[in-house]
Chain A
Amino acid sequence: DAMVIQNPRYQVTQFGKPVTLSCSQTLNHNVMYWYQQKSSQAPKLLFHYYDKDFNNEADTPDNFQSRRPNTSFCFLDIRSPGLGDAAMYLCATSIDKHNEQFFGPGTRLTVL
């Protein structure tokens, strides 16, 4: 089945220790998104790629970076996680920007 896969599902890291979250898709969608979602809040868009074209949201902290080496894979790098970065990180894809987004299961990040 075509899908969006995120690894790991749960990630524990220490304050300041870099961490990388991964996302892959078999849908062959052009657009890939990274969201941060905290409890009872709306998903907050961090970045999106339209094919290889990278778009960084204005309020995304410099601590967060992303890579999309090919159509199928996208990575979220958190260089120096702080306690405030503990959240669910959601990867999503869509055929184009105006189409529905398909979400992966998310990675729940805990920062100790």
Chain B
Amino acid sequence: GQNIDQPTEMTATEGAIVQINCTYQTSGFNGLFWYQQHAGEAPTFLSYNVLDGLEEKGRFSSFLSRSKGYSYLLLKELQMKDSASYLCAVIDSNYQLIWGAGTKLIIKP
């Protein structure tokens, strides 16, 4: 079966750095997305990785290792507004998007 694993919940301090991990087992791979979702709102696109390595975009970076079936989202200089769920999603060989259940990130002052 197809599976994406992320921690259910993480807590971090304002101004700090946090890394949210995602591991996947899918039938084929055509890219990995990270989305941010605030409570009661729709997901918004953060990043896309299809090749191994690190993609940096401002305070957010995303890393991919296809051989390990592993990705992480790195958030720097955390702000209170970063409190949200972060969803990892993988496109499989049939171009179907497989979603993780999301990691709820709680930022404390």
Query: B45 touching A42 by the CB < 8 A rule?
Result: no
Q: Are B100 and A43 in contact (CB under 8 A)?
A: no
Contacts of A90 in B (CB 8 A): 42-43
Q: Are B99 and A100 in contact (CB under 8 A)?
A: no
| Cβ–Cβ contact A43 & B43, under 8 A | yes
Q: Tally chain B residues at the interface, Cβ within 8 Å.
A: 21
Question: Is chain A's binding surface mostly helix, strand, loop or mixed?
Answer: loop
Distance from A50 Cβ to chain B, minimum over Cβ atoms (Å): 9
Shortest distance from the beta carbon of B70 to any chain A beta carbon, whole Å: 18
From 12 to 54 in chain B, residues with beta carbon under 8 angstroms from any chain A beta carbon are 30-31, 33, 40-45, 48
Interface pair B43/A103, CB less than 8 Å apart: yes
Closest Cβ neighbor of B102 among chain A residues: A42
Verify A41–B41 contact, CB threshold 8 A. Answer: no
Report the Cα distance A46→B43, complex, angstroms. Answer: 16
> Known contacts A97-B95, A98-B30; is A103 also within 8 Å of B100 by CB?
no
Contact indicator A45/B97 (Cβ below 8 Å): yes
The one of B42, B45, B101 in contact with A104, judged by C-beta atoms closer than 8 angstroms, is B42
- Beta-carbon nearest neighbor of A100 in chain B: B45
Chain A interface residue number, banded: 10 to 19
B91 within 8 A of A: yes
Contact call B30/A42, Cβ cutoff below 8 A:
no
Check A11 for interface membership: any CB of B closer than 8 A: no
Is A101 a contact of B95 with CB atoms below 8 Å?
Answer: no
Q: Does residue A70 face the partner (Cβ distance < 8 Å to B)?
A: no
Q: Mark A76-104, 1 if CB is under 8 A from B, else 0.
A: 00000000000010100000011011111
Chain B residues with Cβ below 8 Å from A43 are 43, 87, 99
Other than A98-B31, A100-B48, give 15 A-B pairs with Cβ distance below 8 A.
Answer: A40-B101, A41-B101, A42-B4, A42-B87, A42-B99, A42-B101, A43-B99, A90-B42, A90-B43, A98-B91, A98-B95, A101-B45, A103-B43, A106-B41, A108-B40
